[in-house]
Structure 1
């Protein structure tokens, strides 16, 4: 994992500073492979949390404020719905970006097992934390990819090998799914050689650091404790972005279809 400043789609070269082993963590909604986000691994500005998740049942209605989320489904299918009116299903290979901004309440549920993928939380700058929520979805067959000399790159966000995604991230982010055949090499700000006899697959994530204080709980990410308390109060009393939370509740899976 490297964090980089992006300018015009080109990032300065960075070397590997540290290699970290992921932590296995089990939560109410399923088993998660915790990559970043623990107290020991909080220096990945602007990233807050990266999970390789297995969803075992529904995540009940819950709020967010102050950050963006990225979901990349690797297997199975998952429904989603929120109080803004977005609802549908993402399947293996699909990508979903949600900018919570000033406030969103949503829920997620699996369609069938196994169901899992990658889930990334990305911080928003102080000036963007109270923006209106936004939602983007790209189905797998529409994700742009480049193939050359035994290298395949799916461009989930940002740019690679002359391919640029239409997905807009409020905090500049690059996210690439890279597959390298044996004996190949790939260069993009970093250099990777696959000298093994097996195919190599990895995700490269980079983002523009915000250099701002981070205070977070399970639902909200702000710059101060006072702002966290204010977010909790706004959600409790259905104001300042959470007005729709009062009448809204998630619907049964059977009523949901892909947008």
Structure 2
């Protein structure tokens, strides 16, 4: 595994005062095809109880993964779903979505989840929005002889001689996302050679014989096999892969387009009610 660079998450807040740790890459290069990784992890409900009241998006895809706790999603397309522990949800916003994400409080377990933004290619940014979740199907998983697990959240994955398709397919930039769970002193090997970008975000434990701690993002070379080994604490990490889109980005809050003019149009369309309303 050849590490190209590292990036540390930083503390911030979003929505109605929700405390998160964020990795941002709105330069269109460092994370491409991804734009942002937000991690919400707290046992204190005051850190997340405000949730994310109704707000718009255009030009991106949001991918939500819940490890503990839950959120209720609602949007102007008529979707209203409880996304709980082990669930994933994908929303390809296209020309416009208005949605809300409000916490489902679990007093005993707290909250741990991720929202990941992917960029959409210019030719698809103004198509109709799409929605999908895993609440009815579950998330496929693979386990090796060391009891290391790969939870295939999205896209296609290859572990040893096994190939598995994730709960959701068709992400922008051929996005593929997995949660890799390693018991203490175990190893997992993944073939990531079909991807142009491979990222690892450590969310628990740590990599064996490295200084990389929780909240660290690693970019690794896709040309080499991805071998992850855990130390005495075990390790949990999101692995994100895809094909860079390589297009110019114009970003303003919840909108990601290709030009400033397109951003202004998005703001006008939202202000004029063209995105619709949550009913």
Q: What residue is the counterpart of 1:35 in the other structure?
A: 23
Distance verdict in 2 for CA 1:140–1:183, change over 3 Å: farther
Q: What residue is the counterpart of 2:227 in the other structure?
A: 192
Where do residues 240-251 of structure 1 align in structure 2 (5 Å cutoff)?
242=275, 245=276, 248-249=277-278
SS in 2 for 1:194: strand
Distance verdict in 2 for CA 1:193–1:79, change over 3 Å: closer
Distance verdict in 2 for CA 1:195–1:127, change over 3 Å: closer
Q: What residue is the counterpart of 1:91 in the other structure?
A: 84
Return the TM-score normalized by structure 2. 0.76
Return the TM-score normalized by structure 1. 0.82
8 Å contact from structure 2 (residues 23, 38) kept in 1: yes
Between the aligned partners of 1:111 and 1:191, the Cα distance in structure 2 is 35
- In structure 1, runs of 5+ residues without a counterpart are 1-13, 251-259
Distance verdict in 2 for CA 1:193–1:212, change over 3 Å: closer
Distance verdict in 2 for CA 1:95–1:36, change over 3 Å: same
Does the alignment pair 1:156 with 2:153? yes
Please report how far the alpha carbon of residue 193 of structure 1 lies from its aligned counterpart in structure 2 after TM superposition: 4.0
The superposition leaves residues 133-157 of structure 1 with CA deviations (integer Å, 9 ceiling, x where unpaired) of: 0001003972100111122100001
8 Å contact from structure 1 (residues 149, 184) kept in 2: no
SS in 1 for 2:5: coil
Distance verdict in 2 for CA 1:29–1:37, change over 3 Å: farther
RMSD: 2.1
Distance verdict in 2 for CA 1:108–1:127, change over 3 Å: same
- In structure 2, runs of 5+ residues without a counterpart are 42-47, 193-224
Distance verdict in 2 for CA 1:128–1:170, change over 3 Å: farther
Between the aligned partners of 1:154 and 1:24, the Cα distance in structure 2 is 26
- Pick from 38, 46, 52 the counterpart of residue 59 of structure 1: 52
Between the aligned partners of 1:214 and 1:107, the Cα distance in structure 2 is 25
Q: What residue is the counterpart of 2:117 in the other structure?
A: 121
Between the aligned partners of 1:203 and 1:195, the Cα distance in structure 2 is 14
The superposition leaves residues 189-228 of structure 1 with CA deviations (integer Å, 9 ceiling, x where unpaired) of: 3432425223221110012111100011112110000000
Point out 4+ residue stretches in structure 1 off by more than 4 angstroms. none
8 Å contact from structure 1 (residues 95, 140) kept in 2: no
